[in-house]
Amino acid sequence: MTNKTFLTAHGVIYIFFALALFFAPTILWPNYGLQLNDQYAVFLSQHNAIFLGGIGIISFLFRNTEAGSETTQNILKGLMWTNILGVIITLYACLTGVFTGFGWSDPIFFALLAILSFVQLGKNR
């Protein structure tokens, strides 16, 4: 897949989740076994949308970088490590019982994006 296609898809996925966490946290989080008991928990979910949305925007902004360039390799490395961090944190949540039900999809989701980022990085070396 081209860098443009990969970074566009990556950006769309992150922006989708940012919007979901911002506009529908009380619908989304219970599927993961989490309860939002007060306005502060809802705000923390919305606050997370800042970072997810930012990753999506960065993906979009760098989608036209030249294949094989140092800039392209660095953005792909950054996305790969961000997704690896996502695997670690969400797997921890699953293993400690914080995430239940649909929560197991999160480490799988981040692992898939980390692998795709790694493959894309390999195409740019």
Write out pLDDT tens, residues 22-65: 999 999 999 999 999 999 999 999 999 999 999 999 999 999 99
Q: Percent of the chain, pLDDT > 90? A: 98
Q: What is the domain range of residue 37?
A: 3-123
User: At a CB cut-off of 8 Å and minimum separation 6, what does 93 contact?
Assistant: 99, 103, 106
pLDDT band at 125 (very low <50, low <70, confident <90, very high): confident
The total number of structural domains in the chain stands at: 1
pLDDT at 115: 98
CA distance 79 to 43: 25
pLDDT at 111: 98
Q: What is the mean pLDDT of residues 67-93?
A: 97
pLDDT at 123: 95
Mean residue pLDDT across the chain: 96
pLDDT at 39: 95
Q: What is the mean pLDDT of residues 88-105?
A: 95
Q: What is the mean pLDDT of residues 86-92?
A: 97
